[in-house]
Amino acid sequence: MDDIVKEIERVKAEELEKAKSIEGKRKISKATYLITFYCPKCLIRTYNYTNNELRSKLKKGITPKCSYCKVELRMVDDEYKGRLAKVWEEYRTKVEMILRPIWKVLRNWWLTTDVETMPCEIHRYSVTVKFEAPSHLKIYIEDGEVRAYMYLHWFEYDKVEKFERVVEALKNAKVKALIEVDSRPDHCTIPKEDMEKLGFKEGLFNWQLVIQP
């Protein structure tokens, strides 16, 4: 658990240092400027254009947009750097708020053990805890905010109390979260009425529970 927090702190420092060094507009030759834009929706994607490239696009009626979010770009400024710093701080804080109170719960989801570690994948904008493969809990940055996703491949009555502990942690952290449970009868042995009491709605292949901050 501590290793996860340390890794997020390391990546956070790298990202903020990189953002700090970005200039919205800088001269690269006598008549040419390099302008750096960012996506105001996802915050994690930036784009570089020269003034000549921008002029050519505008003449063609093309407005620079994020290739992923399809949102009109903005030039990097102090607002961008402030928002990015806030998101990274929320990410670090909420990962810890969610995982610390449920670390032992996840570790002992299937079988009680004294082992302290669990398989985890830490990427630049996400951390995924695999507690009962393929069941997992993912906490990540998307659309400029911290979100969570949990998938349960098997769900039985003896896991309900543990599940409720996870839901409580997600609600306390005030993150938008989606929890999905494989709805096949041999994977989810809890009756429909009890799943609905837990807040789930039945989808095509999975039971789904949405948690709003």
Does residue 104 sit in the same domain as residue 179? yes
Q: Are residues 28 and 67 in the same domain?
A: yes
- Judge whether residue 115 has pLDDT over 80: no
Q: Specify whether 120 is located in the same domain as 171.
A: yes
Q: What is the pLDDT of residues 48-89, one digit of tens each?
A: 999 999 999 989 999 999 999 999 999 999 999 999 999 999
Residues 33 and 107 in one domain: no
Q: Which of 212, 12, 5 is nearest to 96 (CA)?
A: 5
Are 99 and 173 part of one and the same domain?
Answer: yes
Same-domain status, 121 and 26: no
Q: Are residues 112 and 161 in the same domain?
A: yes
pLDDT in tens, 145-172: 999 999 999 999 999 999 999 999 999 9
Q: Do 199 and 105 reside in the same domain of the chain?
A: yes
Q: Is 204 found in the same domain as 157?
A: yes
How many structural domains comprise the chain?
A: 2
Give the CATH number for residue 154: 3.40.630
Q: Which of 36, 58, 82 finishes a domain?
A: 82
pTM, to two decimals: 0.92
Considering the domain architecture, whether residues 180 and 103 belong to the same structural domain is answered as yes
Q: In the predicted model, what is the mean pLDDT of residues 124-137? A: 94
Q: Report the C-alpha gap between 133 and 135 in whole angstroms.
A: 5
Of the three residues 48, 65, 82, the one that is the final residue of a domain is 82
Instruction: Give DSSP secondary structure letters for 8-60.
Output: HHHHHHHHHHHHHH--SEEE-SSS-EEEEEE-TTTSS-EEEEEHHHHHHHHHT
Question: Rounded to whole angstroms, how far apart are CA atoms 86 and 96?
Answer: 16
Q: Provide the residue range defining the domain that includes 98.
A: 88-211
64, 82, 100: which is the final residue of a domain?
A: 82
Same domain membership, residue 135 and residue 109:
yes
Instruction: Quote the pLDDT of residue 31.
Output: 85
pLDDT digits (tens, 9 = 90+) for 161-208: 999 999 999 999 999 999 999 999 999 999 999 999 999 999 889 999
Output the pLDDT for position 14. 94
- Asked if residue 111 has pLDDT above 90, the reply is no
